[in-house]
Amino acid sequence: MSREERDSRTELQKRQAERSRRKEERHHEYPSSGIKHAGSLIQQGYRVEEGQLKRRTALSKAIHEFGYSEVVEKINALSVMNKNHKENHRRLEDDLKYLESEFGET
């Protein structure tokens, strides 16, 4: 094997190692994404598309199930994910204000 072939092979190995290292870095664990159990609010009956009364009833159930801080994290994460959908974003922001006024921990 000539020196050029060996150098090209080592360059290829270096590039592959760099790619795999970058790929692993992309999948690091975020401290809190807000949604630990997908669909947990849906199990309580919460849907953004529902009316205000049904959403608030479901939020009350979720508060008793998961606690105030976890529900606020979930709604906040949904709000961020729906920031480009104006109607859903507005409803989620209203729900956050409702949670703070009704159950807010002061």
For the segment 64-81, what is each residue's pLDDT rounded down to a tens digit?
A: 988 898 899 999 999 998
Check whether residue 47 and residue 84 sit in a common domain: yes
Q: How confident is the model at residue 6 (pLDDT cuts 50, 70, 90)?
A: low
Check whether residue 58 and residue 83 sit in a common domain: yes
For the segment 48-67, what is each residue's pLDDT rounded down to a tens digit?
A: 999 999 999 999 999 998 88
Rounded CA gap, 18 and 34, in Å? 31
Check whether residue 66 and residue 98 sit in a common domain: yes
Note if the pTM is more than 0.75: no
Rounded CA gap, 72 and 77, in Å? 8
Check whether residue 50 and residue 14 sit in a common domain: no
Structure tokens, 70 = 């976890």
Rounded CA gap, 48 and 71, in Å? 14
Q: What CA dihedral angle connects 57, 47, 96 and 75, to 10 degrees?
A: 120
Residue 31 has what pLDDT?
A: 47
Check whether residue 63 and residue 19 sit in a common domain: no
Q: Which domain holds residue 21?
A: 1-30
Q: How confident is the model at residue 105 (pLDDT cuts 50, 70, 90)?
A: low
Domains: count for the chain: 2
For the segment 19-38, what is each residue's pLDDT rounded down to a tens digit?
A: 888 777 665 554 455 566 66
pLDDT beyond 50 at 45 = yes
Q: Does residue 35 lie within any of the structural domains? A: no
